[in-house]
């Protein structure tokens, strides 16, 4: 999935203001400006849209984890240079303090049936014999379920959240 799309969906779901977005980056010791945040959140196709790098999204997700779970003792996590859907999924799972049953319920809100074994395959280490890549559609459905659970409404369409025009 596109990093900017993930960022927009999370912002929409939790109704984060620009100031809150800046604060989340700050919690991971990565200062950003309102202009940077605004450029990352522009609609698809807008010439002012700036691509959010893997490292920047990892920093944001680390800040979200710190915001929701508290700062951990010791050295803070180093943001990944390369992200994939499995890492994004794992970071959201940690930030939202979700157990397998919670994720299965969230996936159910998005009308997706998945077994506990299929789900655990997404969180295994790369190279493990039962590891499975999380495809864009699976992550998109998870984010859709998270929106339904935490936002409590379905007023925003996928196009509104992602900034794409219909």
pLDDT tens-digit profile of 57-73? 999 999 999 999 998 88
Q: Are residues 135 and 116 in the same domain?
A: yes
Q: What is the pLDDT of residue 152?
A: 78
Q: Are residues 91 and 136 in the same domain?
A: yes
The reply to whether 159 falls in a domain is no
The mean pLDDT of 24-44, rounded to a whole number, is: 95
Cα-Cα-Cα-Cα torsion 76, 81, 84, 86, nearest 10 degrees, comes to -20
Alpha helices for 41-99 (secondary structure H): 54-69, 85-95
* Residue 74 scores a pLDDT above 60: yes
Dihedral sign for Cα 97, 100, 105, 109, please. Answer: positive
What's the mean pLDDT when you consider all of the chain?
Answer: 91
The reply to whether 66 falls in a domain is yes
Query: How many structural domains are present in the chain?
Result: 2
Q: Are residues 67 and 111 in the same domain?
A: no
Q: What is the pLDDT of residue 153?
A: 63
Q: Taking Cα atoms as reference points, which of 101, 108, 138, 111 lies closest to residue 122? A: 138
Residue where a domain terminates, one of 38, 62, 83 = 83
CA distance 42 to 162: 9
The reply to whether 29 falls in a domain is yes
The mean pLDDT of 132-145, rounded to a whole number, is: 97
Termini Cα distance of the chain: 19
Q: Are residues 113 and 39 in the same domain?
A: no
The reply to whether 162 falls in a domain is no
Q: For residue 134, give every residue at least 6 positions away whose Cβ sits within 8 Å of its Cβ, in sequence order, or none.
A: 84, 85, 86, 89, 122
pLDDT tier at 154 (50, 70, 90 boundaries)? low
* Residue 159 scores a pLDDT above 50: no
3-state secondary structure of 21: helix
Residue where a domain terminates, one of 83, 110, 142 = 83
* Residue 163 scores a pLDDT above 80: no
CA distance 8 to 23: 16
Q: How does pLDDT run across 83-135, given as a tens digit for each residue?
A: 999 999 999 999 999 999 999 999 999 999 999 999 999 999 999 999 999 99
| Residue 105 belongs to domain spanning | 84-152
The reply to whether 103 falls in a domain is yes
Q: Are residues 27 and 52 in the same domain?
A: yes
Tell me the pTM. Answer: 0.88
The mean pLDDT of 17-22, rounded to a whole number, is: 96
Q: Are residues 40 and 104 in the same domain?
A: no
The reply to whether 131 falls in a domain is yes
């Amino acid at each position: 999935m596109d990093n900017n799309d993930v960022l927009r969906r999370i912002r929409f779901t939790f109704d984060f203001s620009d100031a809150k977005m800046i604060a989340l980056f700050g919690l991971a010791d990565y200062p950003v400006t309102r202009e940077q945040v605004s450029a990352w959140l522009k609609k698809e196709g807008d010439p002012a849209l700036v691509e959010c790098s893997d490292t920047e999204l990892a920093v944001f997700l680390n800040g979200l984890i710190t915001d929701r779970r508290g700062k951990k003792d010791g050295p803070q996590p180093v943001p990944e240079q390369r992200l994939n859907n499995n890492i994004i999924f794992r970071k959201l799972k940690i930030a939202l303090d979700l157990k397998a049953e919670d994720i299965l319920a969230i996936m159910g809100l998005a009308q997706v049936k998945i077994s506990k074994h299929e789900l655990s395959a997404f969180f295994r280490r790369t190279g493990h014999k039962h590891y499975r890549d999380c495809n864009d559609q699976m992550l998109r459905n998870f984010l859709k379920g998270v929106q339904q659970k935490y936002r409590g409404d379905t007023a925003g369409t996928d196009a509104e959240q992602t900034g794409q025009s219909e």
